[in-house]
Amino acid sequence: MDEVTFAVLGTGGIGRRALEVSQHKDALTPVAACDRHGVAIDFDGLDVDELLEATEGNIDNEVATDGGTAASEGGVKQHGEELGVVASEQARPSEDSIQDIIDHGDEIDAVLLALPNYEHDFIPRTAERFIEGDYSGVMIDVLKRSRVIGMLDDRREAFEDAGITFICGAGATPGLLTGAAALAAQSFVEVTDVDIHWGVGLKSGYEDNRGTVREDIAHLPEYDIETARDLSEEEIEEIIDDHDGVIEFEDMEHADDVLLERAGICDAEDVTVGGVLDVYNDEKPTTTTVRVTGRTFDGETATNTFQLGDETSMEANVNGPALGYLKAGVRRNRAGEYGVFGPAELMPGF
Amino acid sequence: MDEVTFAVLGTGGIGRRALEVSQHKDALTPVAACDRHGVAIDFDGLDVDELLEATEGNIDNEVATDGGTAASEGGVKQHGEELGVVASEQARPSEDSIQDIIDHGDEIDAVLLALPNYEHDFIPRTAERFIEGDYSGVMIDVLKRSRVIGMLDDRREAFEDAGITFICGAGATPGLLTGAAALAAQSFVEVTDVDIHWGVGLKSGYEDNRGTVREDIAHLPEYDIETARDLSEEEIEEIIDDHDGVIEFEDMEHADDVLLERAGICDAEDVTVGGVLDVYNDEKPTTTTVRVTGRTFDGETATNTFQLGDETSMEANVNGPALGYLKAGVRRNRAGEYGVFGPAELMPGF
């Protein structure tokens, strides 16, 4: 496949790491990155090292209000006068950095939405802005929220008309793990059970991943996206302390189920997702494992298993797959396949 | 994706099971099947149950000479007057059944070459016949021979000019397992080691899989494709007896290495393939395992692992993936991507 240009919306932990990981492959050229404060665009390819170095410690993890003008309260550290991405010499301040990217959309093959913490409809509404701005290309998110997928599906026809291929949930979970489930499902003519159990140890990565922790807390039974969004950093840390740093999730609401169902792998109700997040240790509290149980054409029942090495960080498991699905999405887009796709739908399968 | 029509060349174990497994999914319609004795063609879809039932015990496992007219010597059991596929009421005898399929190529999206035992250049030469017959579509094999891939690559331009998408090695090994390796590689920016170790127990499936056993024997250090092809059934059984039914392969010549290298996953020399075949037991002598070791962007070394459930038969692990890759190939073909592809190249990846 020819060179792929991509933009990153959001330069928090996921956006920064996506830029960094893309440096390891030739065929991916990051050409734009933005946060709410500004935008960096260079169609010869961003100087990722400069951008990451200049903005180190400038990570914008705060929660946006609708207008995107919430005051910084600790999430973004200042670097001189400058907030977030603007600390890079490649960036300039912008009052509407997303529009700046849309305005250059004809030179951007794919847009990675690395915005984990906004309202449910933030990503669908952002996608609508790209439609209105005549963008045609790939949009990709790394969310794990079933409801967002439904909202994107509601816009399927608009994506098709615009020529947009929207890939949703393309990080580690559900992305990599539902992809593994789709692969493992190929031994079977009927999949009866998919069990996804993840472990994340986050001590040294906590600062870079506050947004993801907040997202996870939203999946605890006592919280939802809205209430989690309203928590202060102090409240988040209190919740973590209350759990001695280890938060367990059982049968959580997670988009894996709907993504596997839409890929034709199994019924959503046959998918179980749980996990353990340890914020105080880097070591994973449990080995991330996908178990796919099914019936073979010759009548046997068996379980295929995929396990991630405990030493792989969440960041490594988010960003490699996200960029892989991004490239797979570009291939689909160039072939004229538009609409909404989950990662498992991009896998070979029958 | 719309309906996919496909033909099966060869109705030995692999061809028969591919037909059977395709029945479990709606979007795949088998429209043609042949062996050297005859051909069955029906564009409304073959009656697979009738075809399999009528030809049960008629499996043609013998080794073809170049002209394809070798006398039957036990490999094909007769059913009345009729040999092989001709025992089905849907089939008719043919002196050149492959040409019959080529002549109907414009209605066939994909051709599965289920012919494990012929000469090295049999599949490349068969592909050339399809090129000469103006076929444009997908051709797919389930071989594990590196040399054949090189011979197909030599014909890449001819495939591109013809509009043929050739998928090679798309069974269990290398197909499913290199696909798993490609998936597992996504955590890493550099893959340092891929270790593929398979186990097959074949007691009840031996009759249906003589061809595959012969193919495996060709990978023992003392044999090659030519010498294995010349072995009589009795000699094959002697070799099996000499090994007490359990044949171990270490660091075998296997196309996994070249297929992973061409997909950009790792260097061929970093791939190790071995396995254990137990012809006397159905139970797998070892659990089929793929281990992918690499370095993450953040400097850790780890191993991701994929394991097949011991109860999954070789047939289940060949035919599901083969049909999955077949469909993925049709998608590529419809998008105008022609040439030669390994299974790992059909996976999302960056």
* C-alpha to C-alpha distance for A231 and A242, rounded to whole angstroms: 15
- Do residues B98 and B126 lie in contact, with contact meaning Cβ atoms separated by under 8 Å? yes
**Active-site residue (options: A144, A197, A254, A327):** A144
Alpha carbons within 13 A on the beta-carbon side of B139: 30
Chain A closest-CA separation from residue B290 CA (Å): 9
Told to judge if A219 belongs to the known catalytic residues of this protein, a careful annotator would answer: yes
Distance CA B240, CA B157 (A): 42
- pLDDT tens for B133-175 read 999 999 999 988 788 899 999 999 999 999 999 999 999 989 9
Q: How far is B74 from chain A (nearest CA, A)?
A: 25
Find chain B residues with C-beta within 8 A of A311's C-beta: 296, 300-302
Domain residue ranges in chain B = 4-172+316-346, 173-311
Contact between B168 and B152 under an 8 Å Cβ cutoff? The reply is yes
B173-311 belongs to CATH 3.30.70:
no
User: Is residue A272 helix, strand or coil?
Assistant: strand
What crossing angle do the helices spanning B146-153 and B122-132 adopt, rounded to 10°?
A: 30
Cα–Cα distance, A336 to A339 (Å, whole number)? 10
A317 Cβ neighbours under 8 A, 6+ residues apart: A171, A172, A176, A288, A308, B186, B187
Whether A159 contacts A166, CB under 8 Å? yes
Render pLDDT for A247-277 as a digit per residue (tens, 0 to 9): 998 888 788 999 999 999 999 999 999 999 9
Tell me if residue A215 is catalytic.
yes
Closest among B25, B337, B344 to B165, alpha carbons compared: B337
Interface contact A350-B25, CB threshold 8 A:
yes
Which of B3, B138, B186 to probe the A interface (max A CBs under 10 A)? B186
How would DSSP label each residue in A88-155?
STTEEE-S-HHHHHHHTGGG-SEEEE--TTS-TTHHHHHHHHHHHTT--SEEEE----HHHHHHHHTT
How many CB atoms sit inside 10 A of residue B150's CB? 14
Catalytic residues of B: 144, 215, 219
Q: Where are the beta strands (DSSP E) in chain B?
A: 4-9, 28-35, 38-41, 91-93, 110-113, 138-141, 165-167, 190-201, 246-249, 271-278, 289-295, 301-307, 339-341
Cα distance from B205 to chain A (closest Cα, Å)?
11
**Exposure b/e, A90-120, CB count within 10 A at least 16 = b:** bbeebeebbebbbebbeebbbbbbbbbbbbb
Q: Residue-wise pLDDT tens for chain B (350 aa)?
A: 568 999 999 988 889 999 999 998 778 999 999 998 999 999 999 999 999 998 886 555 444 433 333 333 334 434 445 678 999 999 999 999 999 999 999 999 999 999 866 777 899 999 999 999 999 999 999 988 788 899 999 999 999 999 999 999 999 989 999 999 999 999 999 999 999 999 998 887 787 778 778 888 888 888 887 898 899 999 999 999 999 999 998 888 788 999 999 999 999 999 999 999 999 998 999 999 999 999 999 999 999 999 999 999 988 999 999 999 999 999 999 989 999 999 999 998 86
Architecture of domain A4-172+316-346: 3-Layer(aba) Sandwich (3.40)
Cα separation, A264 vs B74, in Å, equals 42
